[in-house]
Structure 1
């Protein structure tokens, strides 16, 4: 089930998505028409998206992009980053501004995500930051394959 929370400020609509994007998701009913010129989509809490959800996502957001709306993706969860990498037009012309990176701690085995701005990431891809573990404060490691996780940055 997908939940949507909307906030309007001037000509910008911020939409926060949470849950699972799958068959039956009706973006028209959940988000509706965009009154302003810009839509910011926060995907921080999107846990999963299946193939039917991908199709519904692309249909809705491509139609919006075709009307001239400016689309921005922020706080993209690893599930959304995976789809952006797998499906070339998944972002539907949106600027991907920030993504969550998965990290793992070798000491205490904790796993967590940390938010990074995509413009900043492009500058440090050769030496990714190693944030401190929130549990034990030791160094952590990026918990994915960099060449695959950051593929979308090269488009």
Structure 2
């Protein structure tokens, strides 16, 4: 059985937030959000995207092309490692959108624990490059190491000129927290699961 993608969304005064979970594959279709205001920025949360195949990439790029035709400003938050990898290798994968944050994969050699560390491209760029996100392993407290090549983890930030609209900061955090507490597949004004 092929895993489906789950969509959750939140409509806000300043933006529309869509949170995706699962696998971007042949079952992924261009989402339609009832009540979405096409004049507002579009924020895409991909923290829970586990895998992507070539058919999912094709539909993803079609979706972002439609948003670009509407002259929508698109922001990406909490990009999962599979999204980061595709953004590094597939031309126009982000469709001109701006990455505000992404997860870098880390690994603990001591206890073999995998961990994702959130990096914000809105932090000063020189600080991001000289002070890579680091932390101790949550299980054994040994230092975590990058699980992927450094370029694959951090190139996504190199090409960004992120300017997070001031209204986003608090409202976006609240919307992401709200979506996390809802039953899977539900949004502020509904939600759906593609199967």
Question: Normalized against structure 1, the TM-score is what?
Answer: 0.90
Equivalent residue, structure 1, for 2:171: none
Equivalent residue, structure 1, for 2:44: 41
1:87 to 1:56, Cα distance in 2 relative to 1, 3 A: same
1:130 to 1:147, Cα distance in 2 relative to 1, 3 A: same
1:121 to 1:50, Cα distance in 2 relative to 1, 3 A: farther
CA shift digits 1:101-138 (9 cap, x unpaired)? 11111211111101110233732324423211111122
Gaps of 5+ in 1: none
Q: CA RMSD in A?
A: 1.8
Q: Please identify runs of 4+ aligned residues in structure 1 that moved more than 4 A.
A: none
Question: Normalized against structure 2, the TM-score is what?
Answer: 0.73
Gaps of 5+ in 2: 160-195
More strand by share: 1
Contact 2:117–2:133 at 8 Å: present in 1 too?
A: no
The aligned runs of 1:1-150 (5 Å cut-off) are: 1-29=4-32, 31=33, 34-35=36-37, 36-120=39-123, 122-123=125-126, 124-150=128-154
Report the count of equivalent residues: 154
